[in-house]
Amino acid sequence: MPTHPRIAEVKTFLVNADDGKHAERPRGRNWLFVKITTDNGVSGVGEGGGWPEVVATGIGELRPFLIGEDPFAIERLWLKIYDVLHGHGLTGAVRGGALAAIDTALWDIKGKLLDVPVYELLGGKVWDRIKVYGHANNVAQAKALVDRGFTAFKCAPRVDVLRSLRELVGPDIEIGVHGHGEFSPGAAIELGQACERYAPAFYEEPTSPDDMEALAKVAAKVSIPIAMGERLYSKWSFRDVLDRNIVDLIQPEITRLGILEQKKVAALAEARSVKVAPHDGSAGPIAEMANIHLCASIPNLRFLEHRADDVPWRSTVAVGVIPDRDGYIPVPDLPGLGIDIDEAECARHPVLPTESYEYRARRPDQIQLDRPEG
């Protein structure tokens, strides 16, 4: 039996991903990339999210637990890191983000060493190209997406916005409504029922993901497919949601789960006839490519979220970014993920100081809205 190489180095790269002016969270929007290199010089890349700046520190602390390990032992290393961090309590941003970044990079290494795309390691392709949906909050944005070939997008949680977009694009374009988890159950029900006549494709996070009872109330009163999941970090969290039978569409975030865990989550959903539409709105190019491979391998895929217009350096900090075409992204056939980090370009876009931003701080009555707007 051939001897596998061993992990020799683990490096992280924090990359700014916004205009550096306004933000709702410390340091705004950033990407965290990881590169794991073996002792024979083969590297794999991954991306972690949740709280990228904190997760980067966490991965640095985990480096001694990875050096010298077999990169092929993905399941065992996932369990090792999970156990090392067991004292942190339930899996959240730090453990979830670190596991996701490391896990994704290991899949990339394994694919490269075996000379196969990652999707082949996940059971092979179900789909040759992945349908993507965008974001539009006004008529101009919606028209631009449709002209570009998109047949799906989501919008802000306002009836007037949904009405104007539906009148523009007609009945054949799918439109989701994104609640951002900001409504009380009563307000979410009021908004959802008002939206029903415009046939939304899904109603995303109408209430806080911390309160499943609130979501259950909405699901019982609103006749729109309920979607959620971007702020969950483990298969156990998704199991608890799926067992309640209150969601029609789950939206796992690969920078918080990784490939291994997200594949398991997709299988849990498949067993309950629930579709999967991975969240990808704030993630970077490495995460999107990991999503493409994973989505290619799951039969219950609905579509993938895609940031159709992002910062210009999204396509330069990584080599191998595949643009959308007619509302789809083709599945690549290169070994591993088929994407790499340009370290020099990443260094040109460092994370900005916290003082660089003007922050939006919401009043208490704005955190959970008791009446919908619009």
| List 135, 178, 279, 349, catalytic entry | 279
Closest CA to 44 of 112, 118, 116: 112
Q: In whole angstroms, give the CA distance from residue 218 to residue 220.
A: 5
Helix or strand run (H / E) with residue 32: strand 30-38
Cα distances from 283 to residues 22, 49, 245, 254, 371, in angstroms, run 18, 7, 28, 9, 30
Q: In whole angstroms, give the CA distance from residue 188 to residue 361.
A: 22
Q: Is 180 a catalytic residue?
A: yes
Q: Is 279 a catalytic residue?
A: yes
Half-sphere exposure of 162 (CA within 13 A, CB side): 26
Cα distances from 248 to residues 40, 230, 244, 292, 364, in angstroms, run 45, 14, 11, 21, 31
For β-strands 318-319 and 7-16, DSSP reports them as unpaired
User: Which residues is 220 bridged to in the sheet?
Assistant: none
Q: Which residues are catalytic?
A: 180, 279
